[in-house]
């Protein structure tokens, strides 16, 4: 943008940093120079993956009865690059199949794992549907590189950013080991609910220089939500004992009171009857 005096005008960011003018217009650059410039800008905008802290960013709303340990709640499965990947999640590029680890409290030869995402205003979406059987590890484990034997959505997908504060994930684990009749054993079939942990960043990558830190999950988000739910339940319990809902207070419009507001202070009933 230029002024009437042919001077370049720059927007002033919040941190006071003023960018230097480009000495060579983009139109005069070669394709190789443009690609190098874009690569440099992307490198400046993206956060180094090694600096992203590894932590549990999800939590179960209730203690699982069937799962002893899983790294599904780890930030390892949150998108860290510019693109949200559906496959090729192995950082070493050695495992054809790569997915979270599970260790169950009891042995199961075959396990059916289903994961669905639920967000306010959006339909429930299943994002992982896979069956594991046999393979390496103990009879209670599903290793990260275990090859699925079935499922409608066997490829695990990263949790894409930005992460919604009110998002929920429904995890269902079922023992589908066939019995003598060939039917699933179902020694366990549990559905669990996961939610983001408070006080964690909602986004990691593309944190541009000079901009404020990414919005975080509110520490008292779940507290406010639980208080609101309790208030609704309390109101419903109060209404259960009433044959009809309470009436609204009577109000008179100005057109009904010709002589102004009605004064009820003089209308007092004497509790003691007077002798005649």
Tens-digit pLDDT profile for residues 144-189: 999 999 999 999 988 887 777 788 999 999 999 888 877 887 889 9
- Does 19 have pLDDT greater than 90? no
> For the residues 114-140, what does the mean pLDDT come to?
88
Average pLDDT score over the chain: 74
Q: What is the pLDDT of residue 220?
A: 57
Question: Which pLDDT value is given to residue 113?
Answer: 97
Rounded to 10 degrees, the C-alpha dihedral 81/86/91/94 comes to -160
pLDDT over threshold 70, residue 252: no
What is the per-residue pLDDT across 178-236, written as a single tens digit (0 to 9) for each?
888 778 878 899 999 999 887 776 766 544 444 445 555 555 555 666 777 778 888 77
Q: 209 near 45, Cβ under 8 Å? A: yes
Taking the model in full, what pTM does it have?
0.59
Q: How confident is the model at residue 75 (pLDDT cuts 50, 70, 90)?
A: confident
Q: Is the pLDDT of residue 263 over 50?
A: yes
Distance, in Å, from the CA atom of 152 to the CA atom of 60, rounded to the nearest integer, reads 25
Quick one: what percent of the chain has pLDDT higher than 90?
26
Min mean pLDDT across 69-73, 79-83, 130-134, 173-177 is at 79-83
H or E element: which one contains 237? helix 221-240
pLDDT attached to residue 148: 93
Of 59-63, 87-91, 113-117, least confident by mean pLDDT is 87-91
pLDDT of residue 42 exceeding 90, the answer is: no
Say yes or no to pLDDT of 267 above 90: no
Contacts by 11-15, CB closer than 8 A, 24 or more apart: 13/210, 13/211, 14/210, 14/211, 14/212, 15/210
* Rounded (10°) CA dihedral 91, 213, 162, 74: 40
């Amino acid at each position: 943008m230029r002024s009437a005096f042919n001077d370049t005008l720059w927007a002033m960011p919040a941190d006071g940093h003023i960018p230097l003018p480009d000495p060579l217009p983009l139109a005069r650059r070669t394709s190789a120079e443009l690609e190098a410039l874009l690569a440099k800008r992307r490198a400046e905008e993206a956060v180094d993956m090694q600096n992203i802290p590894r932590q549990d960013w999800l939590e179960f709303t209730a203690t699982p009865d069937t799962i002893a340990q899983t790294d599904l709640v780890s930030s390892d499965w949150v998108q860290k690059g510019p693109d949200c990947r559906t496959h090729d999640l192995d950082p070493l590029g050695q495992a054809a199949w790569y997915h979270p680890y599970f260790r169950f409290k009891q042995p199961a030869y075959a396990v059916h794992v289903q994961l669905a995402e639920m967000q306010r205003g959006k339909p429930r979406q299943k994002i992982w549907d896979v069956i594991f059987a046999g393979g390496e590890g103990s009879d209670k484990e599903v290793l990260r590189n275990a090859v699925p034997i079935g499922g409608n959505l066997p490829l695990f997908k990263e949790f894409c950013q930005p992460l919604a504060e009110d998002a929920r994930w429904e995890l269902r684990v079922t023992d589908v080991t066939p019995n003598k009749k060939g039917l699933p054993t179902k020694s366990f079939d549990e559905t669990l609910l996961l939610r983001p942990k408070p006080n964690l960043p909602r986004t990691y990558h593309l944190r541009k220089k000079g901009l404020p830190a990414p919005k975080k999950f509110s520490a008292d988000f779940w507290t406010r939500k639980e208080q609101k739910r309790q208030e609704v339940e309390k109101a419903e319990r109060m209404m259960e004992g009433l044959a009809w809902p309470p009436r609204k207070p009577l109000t008179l419009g100005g057109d009904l009171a010709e002589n102004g507001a009605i004064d009820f202070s003089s209308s007092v009933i004497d509790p003691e009857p007077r002798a005649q």
